[in-house]
Amino acid sequence: MNPHAHTSSLPPEGAGPPRGGSSAVTMQTKKRIAVVIGAGSVKCAAGIGLAKVLAREGIAIDLLVGASGGSMFAAVMAQGLPHEETTELVSQLWTRDLTSQRDNRAMLSALLPRMFGFDEKFGMKSDALVMQRLQAVFGNSRIEGTKTQLLITATDFHTGEQVVFSRGKLTDAIRASISIPFIFKPWTFDGRTYIDGFMSDPLPVGPAVREGADIIIAMGFDSPMQENISSPTRFAFQLSSIMNNNLQRARFAFHNAAHHGEVIAIVPEFEQRVRLFDTAKIPYIIEEGERATEAILPQLHRMLAQGERSLAAVA
């Protein structure tokens, strides 16, 4: 078993102070704020807009959770860099050419499995550039070393269960979390094979609930439906979107019902169509993230104020 992957052995609530992200607001309210960024490829940049608004309001994030594309953005945000630098880094990470290199051997193995040997390491695109980019941005940084506490989710390829990474190399956890089925091969390390985090939960609120977060701000994205089904890839994406959206609703409904505190859903609206690798639209996506976050600010401030009142009553 991978010693860095956990499903139930995360530190209990209050087991230790949040890394670096603690602020005056957090100290006053004692409410732990988690931000969850769900699967959504480049749309996850809306999370940067969310973080910008919270920072402007003096609200610190105690915990970041990310799945799939959200893992990449959450990992960059957890470094505690200025927002401009965060935007620059994610723009370098996620570009169209990530999928430009076909994995010819994998394609042949799919067409002629007996001749070329087909196995679980199937992905139509080479992941060499993905790993190169992740390495360039994160190097040997570790999850437990980020400024804000970070959790990254992936899915165990063999059991289907959600896996939460709270320690270990960022590059491994993110690569595991973004193993888009059919596109990038599942990622194996420390004896376990992982597929994309969205396969078990596209909006992983569960780890934040388990960590004892009082207020969970969950930014989720619906997977887009294909405009036309003109290729096997589009066919696969359409199926994936249908399953993803239904799974997201089911899981989110459960977490809404189960959590003792608040889950605040943020669903940014994009009037412009945003495709998987529309990196040029990141500024627009961030703006929409800011707009959507501003809409929930009155509620968020009221909840934080309630925490302050409760503390005053106890005192």
Partner 1 sequence: MKFDVSHDGAVCIVKVIGSIDGTTSQELQDTLGKLLGPDRKNMVIDCTELSYTSSAGLRVLLGGVKDSRRMGGDLRLAAVQAGVRKVLSLSGFDSILKIYPDASVATQSFAA
User: By the criterion CB under 8 A, which residues form the site for partner 1?
Assistant: 220, 248-250, 252-253, 255-257, 259, 261-265, 267, 295-296, 298-299, 302-303, 306
Query: What is the smallest separation between the CB atom of 277 and partner 1, expressed in angstroms?
Result: 24
Query: What is the smallest separation between the CB atom of 217 and partner 1, expressed in angstroms?
Result: 10
Strands (E) across the chain are located at 5-6, 33-37, 63-67, 149-156, 162-165, 187-189, 192-195, 215-219, 262-266
Query: What is the smallest separation between the CB atom of 300 and partner 1, expressed in angstroms?
Result: 9
How far is residue 313's CA from residue 315's CA, in Å, rounded to a whole number?
5
10 Å Cβ neighbour count for 11? 12
Query: What is the smallest separation between the CB atom of 290 and partner 1, expressed in angstroms?
Result: 16
* DSSP class of 124: S
Query: What is the smallest separation between the CB atom of 49 and partner 1, expressed in angstroms?
Result: 17
Joined tokens for residue 7: 């499903």
DSSP string, 66-98: EETHHHHHHHHHTTT--HHHHHHHHHHHS-GGG
Give CA 185 to chain center in angstroms. 19
Residue 289 neighbours by CB under 8 Å, 6+ apart: 45, 46, 47, 48, 49, 50, 52, 219, 266, 268
How far is residue 174's CA from residue 191's CA, in Å, rounded to a whole number?
17
Beta carbon nearer to partner 1, 15 or 271: 271
DSSP string, 130-161: HHHHHHHHHTT-BGGGSSSEEEEEEEETTT--
Beta carbon nearer to partner 1, 57 or 262: 262
Beta carbon nearer to partner 1, 69 or 220: 220
Beta carbon nearer to partner 1, 103 or 211: 211
Beta carbon nearer to partner 1, 167 or 259: 259
Query: What is the smallest separation between the CB atom of 222 and partner 1, expressed in angstroms?
Result: 8
Beta carbon nearer to partner 1, 127 or 290: 290
